[in-house]
């Protein structure tokens, strides 16, 4: 028996989130089904963190214990042959036997994609949020830095454990302009609160549409003001990377 | 009663092609359902041409007759409010009463997207063909021009009417390299045979993987050789534009 680590990619549209739940199609559930075809007998796989219903991933990390007589590469291909079309293993390797994708992670990075358009656009709206009225891209770019550093993000999400801390450290927060009117937000932190990225995006879009001021956001970060609730839709969000420092470079 | 022309966009994944068929979800069927909510009474809408099951569009053109008391803009928004999430009207205007999207079209343009990767990639494979072994991009770029001009494309598709001509005039045939290993093929012709773009792409990929020679393709174009059958998958293909010359600029 050995522990393996794998990077998973999925189109979140067809999953009700990542965590296994009875009688519901989830990433963990489908992954464990594929492992089951390889005589996997452990109790559960471990994910780096939860993604909500409809949220995508290109860099979700999972660990599992398996008796496997062949190469890691052969295991990757065996899993991909048994996984559904919207979920795949992108890379796979042996891990140390105490590797834990959630506890050992030192940072997570998410990407959020949006574009401005008054009219529905089915192909783009599969993976991007259509925003109207259009956003002021300069406002997005100039204000994103306000989240950098260590703050109490209680106004922007819920703790991941009951009564857990709502303090997080954001080390990257940047908007990039892409072709065809797309704006792409990349944000990295040690960890995120539930729904935090979607709330950060919603607040920034509200600002860039003139419905909120930079001072409103600063007050919310300082816990000195109430914050208008709102959350950007799931389909624009992708978990792109989980980092493990020197311990378990995956 | 007036005739309107509209540009439709759709994610083809959820449609069994464009043409109405009983008890099957098609683009035409869903569009006529939305029109039905606006007291539409004509027999059928007219499309610029057929797209196969799974093929997308950003520039499908449709015409229909409707009694409508408000503006074209109001009609666009009324239709979009009644169309499903994977189908939308991107623009809409009044047309001359004899405008025919198929007979009046002077050219059609398609785009095909692919990338090379040995490992499945669910997010990209929604709209791109994953090709393995990887293609030689220079071979794609350098050979695409062979299809330009007027040829008998019988080796690359079936006529659109029984015993119809298989001669077509290609005016654009070009591969562009995109970020992240993507290659994008853009091809324009007066009209296309059934499955023609997907067969052109398959042949070019076979060439760029070293499984076919430029001479093989030239012989097939000259109808002097048999051609290995094969068709690139539907999800990489998008109908991007239909042109109408000076008559009905849409």
Catalytic residue among A52, A117, A136, A216: A52
* Residue B163 resides in a domain: yes
Q: Give domain status of residue A7, yes or no.
A: yes
Confidence of residue A246 (pLDDT cuts 50, 70, 90): low
Q: Do residues A79 and A122 share a domain?
A: no
Residues B191 and B143 in one domain: yes
Pairing assessment for the beta strands B237-243 and B56-66 based on DSSP bridges: parallel
Per-residue pLDDT at B42? 80
Is the same domain home to B82 and B111?
A: no
Residue A250 has pLDDT above 70, yes or no: no
Q: Kindly indicate whether the ipTM for this predicted assembly is greater than 0.85, answering yes or no.
A: yes
Residues in A lying within 8 Å of B, measured between beta carbons = 9-11, 56, 58, 76, 80, 83, 85-91, 119-123, 125-127, 238
A7: chain B residues, CB-CB within 8 Å: none
Domain final position from B58, B79, B103: B103
Are A122 and B89 a contacting pair at CB < 8 A?
Answer: no
Cβ <8 Å between B58 and A123 = yes
Residue at a domain's end among A73, A103, A133: A103
Assess if residue B196 is contained within a domain: yes
Instruction: Confirm whether B132 is domain-assigned.
Output: yes
CATH number at residue B39: 3.30.70.580
State the pLDDT at residue B226. 67
Q: What is the mean pLDDT of chain B?
A: 94
Q: Check if B52 is active-site.
A: yes
Q: Is residue B204 part of a domain?
A: yes
Instruction: Give the CATH number, domain containing residue A167.
Output: 3.30.70.660
A110: which chain B residues are within 8 Å (Cβ-Cβ)?
none
How many alpha carbons fall within 13 Å on the CB side of residue B79?
Answer: 31
Shortest distance, CA A20 to any CA of chain B (angstroms): 20
CB-based contact A10 B91, cutoff 8 Å = no
Using the predicted structure, report yes or no on whether residue B41 has a pLDDT greater than 90.
no
Check whether residue B113 and residue B226 sit in a common domain.
Answer: yes
Assess contact for A208 and A225: CB atoms under 8 A: no
Please report whether residue B250 resides in a domain: no
pLDDT above 90 coverage of chain B, percent:
86
Q: What pLDDT does residue A130 have?
A: 97
- The set of residues, in sequence order, having a beta carbon less than 8 Å from that of A245 and lying 6+ positions away, is A106
What is the predicted pLDDT for the residue at A247? 55
Distance CA(B187)–CA(B201), nearest Å, equals 10
- In a shared domain, residues A84 and A112: no
Each residue of A22-70: pLDDT tens digit? Answer: 999 999 999 999 999 999 988 889 999 999 999 999 999 999 999 999 9
Q: Please give the tally of structural domains in chain B.
A: 2
Residues A165 and A87 in one domain: no
Look at residue B196 and tell me whether its pLDDT is greater than 90: yes
pLDDT in tens, A174-207: 999 999 999 999 999 999 999 999 999 999 999 9
| Residue A11, min C-alpha distance to chain B (Å) | 5
Residue B153 class from Cβ within 10 Å (0-12 exposed, 13-18 middle, 19+ buried)? buried
Q: What is the pLDDT of residues B98-145, one digit of tens each?
A: 999 999 999 999 999 999 999 999 999 999 999 999 899 999 999 999
The 3-state secondary structure of A223-244, one letter per residue:
CCCCCCCCCCCHHHEEEEEEEC
A126/A52 same-domain check: no
Write out pLDDT tens, residues B230-249: 999 999 999 999 999 865 44
Which residue from A minimizes the CA distance to B11?
A123
**Residue A51 covered by a domain:** yes
CA distance B116 to B131: 5
Contact yes or no for A88 and B10 at CB 8 A: no
Q: Which of A103, A131, A159 is the last residue of a domain?
A: A103
How close A13 gets to chain B, by Cα (Å)? 10
Does one domain contain both B32 and B126?
Answer: no
CA dist., res. B1 & res. A45, Å (int): 62
**pLDDT (mean) for B150-178:** 93
Residue B249 falls within a domain, yes or no? no
Domain of B33, in residue numbers: 2-103
Same domain (yes/no): A216, A229: yes
Q: Is residue A119 located within the same domain as residue A151?
A: yes
Residues B95 and B212 both lie in one domain: no
pLDDT average, residue stretch B155-184:
93
Is there a single domain that holds both residue A78 and residue A54? yes
Region B77-81: mean pLDDT is: 97
- CA pair distance B171, A49, nearest whole angstrom: 51
Q: Return the structure tokens found at A88.
A: 């795949």
Expressed in angstroms, the distance from the first to the final Cα of chain B is: 20
pLDDT digits (tens, 9 = 90+) for A118-163: 999 999 999 999 999 989 999 999 999 999 999 999 999 988 888 8
Chain B residues lying within 8 Å of A236, measured CB to CB? none
Among the listed residues A46, A64, A67, the one whose alpha carbon sits nearest the alpha carbon of residue A1? A67
């Amino acid at each position: 028996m050995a522990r393996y680590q794998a990077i998973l990619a999925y189109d979140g549209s067809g999953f009700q989130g990542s965590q296994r739940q009875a009688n519901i199609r989830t990433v963990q559930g489908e992954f464990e089904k594929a492992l089951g075809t390889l005589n996997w007998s452990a109790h559960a796989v471990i994910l780096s963190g939860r993604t909500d219903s409809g949220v995508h991933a290109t860099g979700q990390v999972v660990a599992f214990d398996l008796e496997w007589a062949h190469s890691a590469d052969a295991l990757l291909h065996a899993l991909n042959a048994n996984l559904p079309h919207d979920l795949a293993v992108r890379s796979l390797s042996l891990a140390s036997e105490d590797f834990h994708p959630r506890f050992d992670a030192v940072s997570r990075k998410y990407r959020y994609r949006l574009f401005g358009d008054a009219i529905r656009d089915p192909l783009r709206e599969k993976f991007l949020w259509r925003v109207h009225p259009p956003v002021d891209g300069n406002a997005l770019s100039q204000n994103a830095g306000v989240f950098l550093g260590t703050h109490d993000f209680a106004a922007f999400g819920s703790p991941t454990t009951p009564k857990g801390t709502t303090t997080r450290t954001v080390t990257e927060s940047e908007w990039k302009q892409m072709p065809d009117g797309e704006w792409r937000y990349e944000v990295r932190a040690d960890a995120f609160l539930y729904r935090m990225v979607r709330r950060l995006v919603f607040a920034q879009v509200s600002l860039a549409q003139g419905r909120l001021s930079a001072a409103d956001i600063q007050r919310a970060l300082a816990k000195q003001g109430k914050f208008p609730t709102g959350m950007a839709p799931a389909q624009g969000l992708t978990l792109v990377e989980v980092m493990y420092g020197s311990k378990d470079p995956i």
